Structure 1
Amino acid sequence: MHAASAVPNSDETAAQAERRQEILEVAAQLFAERGYKATSIRQIADAAGMMAGSLYYHIQSKESLFVEIHNRALDAAASRIFSAIAPHPSPWARLQAACVELLDIQLSLTSITLPLMNSIISAPPDVRSALIKKRDEFEAIFRNIIDDLPLPPTIDRDIYRILLLRVLNTASDWYRSGRMSHDQIAEQIFTIFKHQDLSDTDARTSTRAGSRAATAPGRSKVARRGGRPQHAP
């Protein structure tokens, strides 16, 4: 046999790539529905219409398959969020756009991002460490946006980020369709989390009030005598 004959042609390579993509899609759906621990290689193979042994021709292990699917889901979500925030120079506008996009991702009926992220707990320790690393990379998008926000110094930015992401990432648990759209709910969440430095606001208010008092008509000619205003002689 010539050495060249052992090299797969382009049609075989394309067919293998297509078959592997089918496996990834089937496995992603099973992982999202059942979680990492409750999904077996045999179930993935059955859903893909192949023998369990044949599945290993396309994948290394259940663990590596889950990590790849999880990372692809987060990469796709990150790409959507980066595209959403790109047109906005203001940190608050970027945060608003990121909130709208992430909420839409998590509430989408076809989204597997949240279920895969929730499966971290049931994954083996070595797999979990890889998943957490990828999740931290994803959350860095929000970390960078929040670091640029003009928040009051009394607000801890890490706690702020954790609370915001917890609300967005658990939206499917409390959301009920009908009264408000995804965008309207995202707007409400953003409005609640939008903070101003109240000390600066109070200082500006006091300055404006003092300026108005100093320039009010006739104020400099009025004296108080016996508790009632009188014109000075």
Structure 2
Amino acid sequence: MAQDRRPAGRSERRVPGERKPREERWAQLLEVATQVFYEKGYEGASLQDIADRLGMLKGSLYYYIQSKEDLLFEVISEVHREGYAVVRTAAATGGDPLERLERTIRAHVEHACRNLVPTAVFLHELESLPAARRDAILGAGHAYQGVFRDLVAEAQRDGLARPDVDPRVAGLSILGSTNWVYRWFRPDGPSTPEEIGVQLAAMAVHGVATADALAARVAAVGA
């Protein structure tokens, strides 16, 4: 369903002295706010910090947002929207449900590793928002988590995942364990995002697949 992405409280007026196009300035505002929230935390950050980093007056921010909470909402919404697009695209590609689950986990991990700052802000500061605004971001049934949950359920229907696995618990486990990469992944570390994604995806699939499905996967690799 299409959504109105104009930020809460954002005015159509032109900011006096504004040189950059509004959409470019808005994107810069989100980027700078994300970095400041990452460095100082939501509670420790101020709109003045963000305005100073942008080289603009604090009052000019109110042409874009009404409050610091509005800005956090927009930052976290953007992070969620981008990540959700990544996993939905991966889940919709060809293959059986286990293959798509594996591909989706890899895509999620690689995206998180390449977007450490936004991922950290999302995971650290989501709870700073009121419940209603959190729900507005996550969607009914927690849509992001639902991508993983639904793939496990589909694998069960096809006889590829064990019937004793609870798809909801599996989805929570997969998303919780893969989200944690933001705490320990280092761009200059010994493993690339792709290598980490492959390993985490393989462990998750082995945790839900039937013995026959695993044997078939091994045979396909060896063929």
Counterpart for residue 156 of structure 1: 166
- The amino acid across from 1:180 in the alignment is S
In 1, Cα distance between the equivalents of 2:99 and 2:168?
A: 19
Q: Does 1:31 align with 2:33?
A: no
Per-residue deviation, 1:134: 7.9
> Which of 68, 74, 78 is matched with 2:74 structurally?
68
Q: 1:79 aligns with which of 57, 61, 85?
A: 85
TM-score, normalised to structure 1's length?
0.70
Within the alignment, does 1:182 sit opposite 2:193 as a pair? Answer: yes
Alpha-carbon deviation of 1:166? 1.0
In structure 2, the CA distance between the partners of 1:135 and 1:63, relative to structure 1 (3 Å rule), is farther
Cα offset for 1:148?
0.8
2:152 equivalent in structure 1: 146
Instruction: Tell me the TM-score normalised to structure 2 length.
Output: 0.73
The answer on whether the counterparts of 1:20 and 1:58 sit within 8 Å (CA) in structure 2 is yes
Superposed CA offset, 1:179-213 (max 9, x none): 43322222222222223335x78xxxxxxxxxxxx
Unaligned runs of 5+ in 2: 1-12, 214-223
Corresponding position of 1:192? 203
* CA-atom RMSD in angstroms: 2.8
1:165 to 171, 175, 200: 175
Gaps of 5+ in 1: 1-6, 202-233
- 2:60 and 2:127 map into 1 onto residues whose CA distance is 29
Structure exhibiting the larger radius of gyration computed from Cα positions: 1
| Consecutive aligned runs of 4 or more in structure 1 exceeding 6 Å deviation | none
One-letter amino acid of the counterpart of residue 193, structure 2: H
* 2-structure distance, mates of 1:77, 1:197: 29
CA deviation after TM superposition for structure 1 residue 131, in Å: 4.1
Q: Is the 8 A contact 2:103 2:201 kept in 1?
A: no
Identical pairs, percent: 27
Alignment counterpart, residue 110 of structure 2, candidates 80, 98, 104: 104
**Structure number with higher relative contact order (C-alpha < 8 Å, ≥ 6 residues apart):** 2
Q: Contact between 1:42 and 1:52, CA under 8 Å: does it hold in 2?
A: yes
Say whether the 8 Å CA contact 1:103–1:186 is kept in structure 2.
yes
Q: C-alpha separation between the residues in 2 aligned to 1:66 and 1:127?
A: 10
